[in-house]
Amino acid sequence: MEGVRRRDREGTRQRILDAARGLFAELGYDQVTMRLIAAEAGANIALINRYFGSKRELFAEVLAMQGRFPGVLDGPVAELPRRLAEYVADRLRSDLASPVMATLSRSSASPEIHDIIRDRVNSAIMGPLAALLPGEEAQLRAALATALITGSGTLRQLFGPEALGPSSREAVVARLTRIFEACLEG
């Protein structure tokens, strides 16, 4: 029957995955404990490893689940700097979750997941960006744009939404657009 199942393998698995996604984005890999994930998901701690194998594998699955930059990398390349600027500005100034960016920039110090992070940065940001860019030095240009994105995440984490001072959203977007243009232009 499809009635309310008190024992719900898939449901529990999904709750764990959701809890882990939010916590990893908010706190970073190291600061998130198995017990915290279990409590947030309303599940027993032993189920995490039963369903995912280990904390590391759960982290990998959380990252694999996340979409790429939604809507940022799509669209005309000429407007790419502006879309990147708006994305970063909004993530810097508000508390809106940007799971991918937040997770990556808050977990990059943990050596046990270095390879996972590296692969994800490559496949979600740097790789697609380099593929989009015409002209020479595409890898260099994509890498520097990526550095700015992740650096913004670190700054946000350190200083909060006021990291950029009292500037208006328009001023921030305008400035960031020019910087991304300098990063990406051929």
Partner DNA sequence: CAAGTTAGTAGACGCATGTTTACTTCGTCA
Partner DNA sequence: TGACGAAGTAAACATGCGTCTACTAACTTG
Residue 34 interacting with DNA (CB under 7 A): yes
**Which residues fall within 8 angstroms of residue 56, CB to CB, at 6 or more apart?**
112, 113, 116
Buried b (16+ CB within 10 A) or exposed e, 21-48: bbbbbebbbeebeeeebbebbebebebb
Residue 114 interacting with a second copy (CB under 8 A): yes
Residue 98 interacting with a second copy (CB under 8 A): no
Quote the least distance from Cβ 31 to DNA, whole Å: 8
Copy the structure tokens of residue 95. 């508390």
Query: Rounded distance, CA 126 to CA 143, Å?
Result: 6
**Residue 32 touches which member of DNA, a second copy, none, C-beta under 5-8 Å by kind:** DNA
Residue 14 interacting with DNA (CB under 7 A): no
Copy the structure tokens of residue 169. 């959203």
Residue ranges in 6-45 that form contacts with a second copy under rule CB under 8 A: 28, 30-31
Which stretches of the chain bind a second copy, using CB under 8 A?
28, 30-31, 105-111, 114, 117-118, 121, 137, 139-141, 143-144, 146-152, 154-155, 157-159, 163-167, 171-172, 175-176, 178-179, 181-183
